[in-house]
Amino acid sequence: MKKLVIVFLTFILSLTFFSNFIPPIDNSYLTSAFAEFRSTGDSPHFHGGIDFSSFLKEGIPIKAVYDGYLVRIEINDSIYGNVVVLQHPNGYRSVYAHLSSFSYKIQPIVDDLISEFGTNKIIVNFPENEIIFSQGEVVAYTGKTGEAIQPHVHVEIRNSKETMIFDPMGFIKPKPLNGEIVLKELVIDGQKYDFVEGKTYEFKGKYPRLSINAFLQVNKNIIGLKEIKLYFSNKLVYHIMFDEIPMEEMYKPFTVYTKDSIAAGYIYKAYYKLYPDTIGYSVKVNNFPTLNQNLDFFPVTIELYDPWERKKTFNFNLRRSN
């Protein structure tokens, strides 16, 4: 009984920590979601965090999402640009990227490093509790260093060993955006179709090799999804969820996305792969091995969830062709 009480209290304490994280920019909003496809940099990869708007401005203050101490700064990284990493007492780390400048506690150190090493990539680790930040204290200022196209702040949540990266939406709760969950295209056995609710599509082989172009549409901005569930004849067949990703899989996005996905600059068109090819950590359910191979015609339901876990359901039919 005592052990159960301890476990319960630990769980409640964790929830309290999560609920006490704050957004890094005042009155801002989400512009990109966790685990979106990226084809920038040296290799395609998952988007490791979430992005907050800085209203197209550099120099907007970025606040510590929770109490913590400075673990590391990085300067001139080709993807992340300038970076601050904080360690929090709940065991998690927060990462802030694409910075234009740093807190007054850090900037003199950065200036000295740049004067010595110039534009080379610089990484500096700091002793525990040497430089401390309170929740809400300014740690840096927004910019567009690294691969950023427009000024914003990219925020990640990692474990203390930085072997696992988590969806920051499980910790930070930005205001929900008004938008529409869209299922725009189906790709079946390599053939692209505009999605039409209730339509019947054909496939070949043992099972349909189905992928989808789907997203949350917010004005002109496209935001990636949190979760996808695929049902054949009301049976859950495939389930993708972006809750956490091992760091070793960050550069393996094709476990979830197809190779004709693209995300570079202002172009974003990603196709979620809803069939077993190379299975990664984000694939939570794969029931394709248990499918009845004699199904020649069946209803299909796809449930799509946005980053705030709002759901929209889409329906169509599949027929095996000769």
Q: Which amino acid is at 193?
A: Y
C-alpha closest to that of 189 among 216, 211, 217: 211
**278 vs 8, 41, 187, CA distance in Å?**
37, 22, 17
User: Would you state the pLDDT for residue 38?
Assistant: 94
Summary mean pLDDT of the chain: 93
For domain 50-166, the CATH architecture is Distorted Sandwich (2.70)
- CATH 3.30.70 matches 180-320: no
> The sheet that has 99-102: what strands, in order across it?
61-63, 138-142, 99-102
List pLDDT tens digits, range 216-251. Answer: 999 999 999 999 999 999 999 999 999 999 999 999
CATH 2.70.70.10 residue ranges for the chain:
50-166
Alpha carbon distance 35, 16 (integer Å): 25
State the sign of the Cα–Cα–Cα–Cα dihedral 112, 114, 120, 124.
positive
Q: Cα dihedral sign for 239, 245, 248, 254?
A: positive
Residue range(s) of every CATH 2.60.40 domain in the chain:
180-320
pLDDT at residue 222, as a whole number: 96
264 neighbors 36 (Cβ within 8 angstroms): no
pLDDT of residue 40: 81
| CB-based contact 140:84 (threshold 8 Å) | yes
CA distance 245 to 45: 11
pLDDT of 19: 52
Q: How far apart are the first and last CA of the chain?
A: 61
DSSP 8-class letter at 174: P
Under 8 Å between Cβ of 213 and 242: no
- How far is the C-alpha of 73 from the C-alpha of 20, rounded, in Å? 24
At residue 11, the pLDDT reads 43
In the chain, which residues have pLDDT < 50?
A: 2-17
DSSP 307: T
Round the CA-based radius of gyration of the chain to a whole number and report it. 22
pLDDT given for residue 3 in this prediction: 47
What torsion, rounded to 10 degrees, do the Cα atoms 195, 196, 199, 202 define? -20
Q: What is the pLDDT of residue 2?
A: 46
Specify the pTM. 0.92
* pLDDT in the model for residue 7: 42
Residue with tokens 């401005």: 57
Beta bridge mates, 62: 140
Token pair, residue 157, equals 């949540």
Cβ proximity of 140 and 98 under 8 Å: no
How far apart are the C-alpha atoms of 174 and 99, rounded to whole Å?
20
